[in-house]
Structures are given as C-alpha cells and as structure tokens.
C-alpha cells in the first residue's frame, strides 16, 4: 500500500482518496434526492384537501430544539475531525460520541413531533400536503437514523483499531455525511417550517 505522508491521514491511501471523491459524488445524488422532495413539497404545499395546513400544525418549540441540537452536532463532529487530524484519538472519540448523542436527541424530538402530527389528524394518509411533509421530514430522519448506526460502527472501529488511514478515512466521510444532513435541515427549517408558519 502506497502512503503519501504529506497528506492528511484520511487522504493518505489511494483507496481513501477514491472513497472521498466517490462520496462527494454520492452527496451530489443526495442533493438531487432532497431537491426533488423539496420541489414536490412546494408543488403540494397548498393541496391540503380536507386536512390541516402547515400553519395549523407547526409548533416552533420542538423545531427550534431540533435545529439547535443538530447544528451543535455538526459543530462537534467538526471538532472531532479536527482532533483526529491532530492525532488525538480520545478527544476525537468524545466528540463523536457527543455528536451521536445529539443526533439521538434530535431523533427523539422528531419522533415526538411525528406522533404529535398523527395525533392531531395530520397523518401520512390525510392529504397530499401531509404526505409530502412527512415524507420529506421522514427521509431526513431516516438519514439521521442510518447515520447514528453508521457513526456508532465507526466509533467502535476507531476505538478498537486506533487511528489508521482507513478508520480516519471512514470517519472523515461520515463527517461529510453528517454536515450534509445539517445543511438539508437548514433548508427544511427555513422553507418548510419558517415559511409555513409565516
């Protein structure tokens, strides 16, 4: 295996470089995926049928908590990667653990939010609007859930195998994913919730 020591750990193997580029391209596809969901959301947002509209069901408190928690987690994973580049495994692990816990908190609030919507008569089957709302939020939520498991696996691997070019590469790619989910959430926050509540 060729190692180029002038590069950060995660870029050091050729395979690692390929994976990072591949993942950026994957994120391009993810942008299209969420872009399509947003486009569909804007198309269907007023088509509430006999169900409620966004303004009637959105609540600011859980949304603010979710936003705060997720933004913080994006910051902590950034710190985690910084620690990784400095070679400080322990600090990195702690920041990753905090990130995952924050992710879990986000998910908890989101589940509460969903239960609440269904409870007040805004279920998946209520109208085109509720369907696209829950699908858009749900797709993001499923990404977060997937990320929690993925992150946990990486955390365990770093703990067991230490900071190698491979584990560093995996961690870095995971951080890209996590930041991406944060960006998507910012769009959801602005264009679904804020716009809907106005």
Partner 1 sequence: MEFFERFAIPHPSAPIYASMVAIALTIVAIIAGLTYFKKWGYLWREWLTTVDHKRIGIMYLISALLMLFRGGVDALMMRAQLAVPDNKLLDAQHYNEVFTTHGVVMIIFMAMPFIMALMNFVVPLQIGARDVAFPRLNALSFWLFFMGAMLFNISFVVGGSPDAGWTSYFPLAGNEFSTSVGSNYYMIAIQIAGLGTLMTGINFITTIFKMRAPGMTLMKMPMFTWSALITNAIIVFAFPVLTVALAMGTMDRLFGTHFFTTNNGGMDMLWANLFWVWGHPEVYILILPAFGIYSEVISTFARRNLYGYKSMVVSMVLISFMSFLVWVHHFFTMGQGALTNSIFSITTMAIAVPTGIKIFNWLFTLYKGKIEITTPMLYALLFIPLFTIGGVTGVMLGMSAADYQYHNTMFLVAHFHMVIIPGVVFAMLAGLTYWWPKMFGFMLNERLGKLAAWVIGISTLVAFMPMFFSGLDGQARRMYTYSASTGFGPLNMISFVGAIGLAVGFAIIVYNVYYSVRYASRDIGADPWNARTLEWATHSPVPEYNFAIVPHVKSAEALWDAKKKRHILFQGDYEKIHMPNNSGVPFIMSSIFFVWGFAMIFSMWAVAIIATIGIFACMAHRSVEIDHGRYISVRKIEETETKLRGAK
Partner 2 sequence: MSLIFTIFTVLTGCEPLLVLDPKGPQAQVQANDIKTSIIIMSFIVIAVFTILAIMLFKYRASKQNKDYEPPHIEGNVWVETICVGIPIIIVAFLSFMSVKSNYAVEAAPNGYGNKEPLVIYAASSNWKWHFSYPEEKIETVNYVYIPTDRPVEFKLYSYGPITSFWIPQLAGQKYAMADMVNTLHLAADVPGEYMGRNANFSGKGFAENTFNVKAMPQKEFDEWVDEVKDTAKPLTEEKFTELLEPGHLGQSTYTGTHLGFMPPPEGENGGHNHGSNGGDKNMEQHQPNETDSKTEHEHH
Which residues contact partner 2 by CB under 8 A?
A: 46-49
Closest by alpha carbon to 116, among 64, 68, 63? 63
Nearest to 127 by CA among 196, 39, 46: 46
Q: How far is the CB of 52 from partner 2 (least distance, A)?
A: 12
The first and second tokens of residue 21, run together, are: 């580029």
Shortest spacing between CB 191 and partner 2, in angstroms: 19
Nearer to partner 2, 6 or 50 (CB): 50
Q: Which of residues 43-102 bind partner 1 (CB under 8 A)?
A: 43-44, 47-51
Residue 124 interacts with, from partner 2, partner 1, none (CB under 5-8 Å by kind): partner 1
Q: Is 131 in the site for partner 1 (CB under 8 A)?
A: yes
**Closest distance between partner 1 and the C-beta of residue 136, in Å?**
10
What CA–CA distance (Å, rounded) separates 24 from 177?
9
116 is a contact residue toward partner 1 (CB under 8 A): no
Nearer to partner 2, 42 or 146 (CB): 42
Angle at 142 between CA 75 and CA 115, to 5 degrees: 105
Return all residues near 182 (Cβ < 8 A) that are at least 6 apart.
Answer: 70, 71, 73, 74
When the beta carbons of 39 and 86 are compared against partner 2, the nearer one is 39
Please report, for residues 7, 14, 137, the alpha-carbon distance to residue 187 in angstroms, rounded to integers and kept in the order given.
Answer: 33, 34, 11
End-to-end alpha carbon distance in the chain? 57
Near partner 1 by CB under 8 A: residue from 135, 176, 189, 195: 135
Residues in the site for partner 1, rule: CB under 8 A? 1, 17-19, 21-22, 25-26, 28-30, 32-33, 35-37, 40, 43-44, 47-51, 124-129, 131-132, 135, 149-150, 153-154, 156-157, 170
């Amino acid at each position: 295996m060729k190692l180029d020591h002038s590069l950060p750990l995660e870029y050091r193997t050729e395979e690692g470089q390929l994976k990072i580029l591949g993942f950026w391209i994957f994120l391009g596809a993810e942008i299209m995926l969420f872009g399509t969901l947003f486009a569909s959301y804007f198309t269907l947002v007023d088509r509430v049928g006999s169900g409620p509209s966004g303004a009637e069901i959105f609540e600011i408190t859980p949304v603010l908590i979710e936003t705060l928690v997720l933004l913080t987690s994006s910051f902590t994973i950034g710190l985690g990667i910084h620690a990784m580049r400095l070679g400080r495994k322990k600090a990195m692990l702690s920041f990753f653990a905090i990130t995952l816990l924050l992710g879990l908190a986000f998910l908890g609030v989101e589940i509460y939010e969903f239960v609440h919507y269904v409870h007040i008569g805004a279920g998946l089957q209520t109208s085109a609007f509720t369907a696209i709302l829950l699908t858009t939020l749900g797709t993001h939520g499923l990404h977060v859930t997937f990320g929690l498991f993925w992150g946990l696996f990486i955390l365990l691997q770093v703990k067991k195998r230490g900071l190698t070019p491979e584990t560093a590469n995996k961690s870095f790619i995971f951080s890209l994913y996590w930041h991406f989910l944060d960006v998507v959430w910012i769009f959801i926050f602005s264009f679904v919730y804020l716009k809907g509540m106005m």
